[in-house]
Structure 1
Amino acid sequence: MFAAREKPSFEKYMLAKKYICFDIGKTKILAAVLKVGRGRYDFLEIAERKNPKNPKKIQEIILEFCNYARAEYWTKKVAVSAAHLVDPEKKIVRQGKECYGTDIFSFQFLREAGFSVRIENDGRCFALGEYHFGKSVGLKNILAINLGTEIGGGLIISGANYTGAHNSSLEISHISANYLGPWAGWAGACAGKGIENSYRRKMGRKVAAKEIFSEAEKNNQVAKEVISEAADILGKGTASIINILDPELIVFGGSLSGQKKFIERAVRVARKNIFNKYANYKFAISTLGNKANLLGAVKNFIDSA
């Protein structure tokens, strides 16, 4: 899986701390080694694997990379950004069958293998990454919205990561986008899977969200209609969250954040529906790419060590 390399000298890395880190999402698993020291960070390794959605295979992928990184970089510290309900004390994720192939996935196998492990929800890791390394430097209160297959959320209040009373804060994929009928989750209306489902209902065939955006650029009217509807729902939902939390900055990340016109329309709709017309709410798109969650996972490890 990972090519053999010449082992780096101990002296080269002795002045910095190194962390093995993972970002586990529904479609893929990112694995990396991050060096942190002297006010900067460097990714020494980064690799991507398709999520097999099988607990045993996921364990094998994680453990293989950890063993490789331990031998290569002399570190046993593992920081994990994980989708779904995280219990940081028990080192487990709940309600994650769609992602892990089992309702409860445990990271205890890493402790048994001699690693020190910290886990946190992926949306909150995104918020931590952005707050400490991205667009939010210098601010105190930020709302982070991670747009991918679903929607992850994180909130920083006065510089602190808000987890909630039950470690389930900002599960914004699951707020309702339909108040007059059956419960319809926000992600099912405006995230990647929502866009795909809407297009399939109109066209009778399944098309990936990326291709739907591409079709919209080619003036496909159905694709344009689907994306406009999704952007409007995203904007209204964002405004509702802003009206409750009153952050300084709202930062968008994830694969859909690269769709500039989509985000711009959502922001226009959000601004229109924000109650406080005197507040100068700032909006931004993450520039950290797929590294934001990894950086946040490591920051969570450092803060909780």
Structure 2
Amino acid sequence: MADTAPPLPLEKRQKRRRQKHRLSLWQRLKRDKVMLLLTLPGLLYFIVFHYVPLLGYVVAFQDYQPYLGYLHSAWVGLSNFAGAFADPAFWSATGNTLTIALIQLVFFFPVPIALALLLNSIVSDRIRRFVQSVVYLPHFIGWVIIVSIFQQILGGAGLLPDLLGELGLPRYDMTSDPGAFPWLLTLQVVWKDAGWGTIIILAALLSIDKQQYEAAAIDGARRWRRLWHVTLPGIAPVIILLLILNLGQILSVGFEQILLQRDAVGPGAGEVLDTYVYYHGIKDNNWGVAAAVGLVKAVIGTALVLGANTFAHRLGHEGIYRGADR
């Protein structure tokens, strides 16, 4: 009687089955054509407004002249980078940018999370919707109006200095104090965008299985225990994702907001990289320097995103994309 071959292990049988039923690229495209068509407008948007403009970074390596264009402007190599790095104003703007970004990361980033947790704890749907509408509203107000409101409250002739004067205390103008400028910007950002930032966190809270709360309550966990062991782990992936994306934008701290208030505190405290590009690059027709600084910002932002994403993988989270080994 002939010997029969031993049966293949379960894993190999499953692998062969998957390979047998694996669809080709054309078959997958045909199967998912409706979904691909739905994503086409968004894809075109990013290609036209985000990827095609990347070609303009060639200006960073040229003595760009608008009337000559990209093809005929003189090639200067790394001279624009050397000129920017040799400028003390560039390093002053870099220091101001990092200071403002770190203060906002520490004191603004947790605010939408805390506000979302507070809104989620409100029992009445009517009250929750009302509070959400109120805290969302400042996001739709332009920076010109917001800066004017803060000027009327904290400025030299504003409500707070007048109140201090009525009490016999020294008048204090926060809007013209260089030392308080990063805190003023953070306060404005909190008031404007904290409510809007709760949207993603609230969506993450709704995805947590209610049975986990019930099981924790049965085990004797009180509200703070449930918050620590159920709620925060449930929204941790979203928090890490938002943190990584914020790190990518750490060198962009709000051009319009700062431009409106820069002259009140002076360039020493109010100059950031975005306003440096505007005043020393675009306004003075140093297009190559402006593009060079923008390219440096893009490279640093990309490096921070990739580094933070790798660190998130080491902590067991997915980050903004899966690693090759996941």
TM-score, normalized by length of structure 1?
0.25
Q: Which has the higher helix share?
A: 2
Decide which structure has greater strand share.
Answer: 1
Query: TM-score, structure 2 length as denominator?
Result: 0.24
Choose 1 or 2 for highest CA Rg.
2
